[in-house]
Amino acid sequence: MSTTTPADAACCLPTFQGPLTSEEAEPLAAVFKAVADPVRLRLLSIIEHTENGEACVCDLTEPLDLSQPTVSHHLKILVDAGLLTRTKRGRWAYYAVQRPALDEFGALLRRQRAAAA
């Protein structure tokens, strides 16, 4: 008779609810690709921790010590992955964290961490 301990059970937790379809895998892969860059992870963190929950691209160049076109490129990747929203106000674009998408991604990472423990 086999007995399992909590540690044994944790290693067997599924990462996904079921096998991913192509339609499910594509956007998830885009999210992983988007956050695989340290600059983009920093951008998410900076924007998420702003006082009003959004940031103008002009406010993001200095903390990263990068040019505006480079920061805009990274922001576009995060928007395309569904992690940020973009609102245009006059000449400036403002970015905000897309909370549900970030929460879903975080939940996936927590399940993965639990499965690896």
The domain segmentation of the chain, as residue ranges, is: 20-105
Strand partners, 88: 93
Nearest to 75 by CA among 90, 61, 63: 61
By percentage, how much of the chain surpasses pLDDT 90? 48
Look at residue 4 and tell me whether its pLDDT is greater than 50: no
**Class of the domain covering 20-105:** mainly alpha
Look at residue 9 and tell me whether its pLDDT is greater than 60: no
Look at residue 79 and tell me whether its pLDDT is greater than 60: yes
Look at residue 12 and tell me whether its pLDDT is greater than 80: no
Taking residues 5-16, what's their average pLDDT?
A: 52
Look at residue 14 and tell me whether its pLDDT is greater than 60: no
What is residue 40's predicted lDDT score, i.e. its pLDDT? 95
What confidence category does residue 19 fall into, taking pLDDT thresholds of 50, 70 and 90? Answer: confident
- In whole angstroms, how large is the CA radius of gyration of the chain? 18
The span from the CA of 84 to the CA of 43, in Å, is 10
Residue with the bigger pLDDT between 92 and 102: it is: 92
By percentage, how much of the chain surpasses pLDDT 70? 79
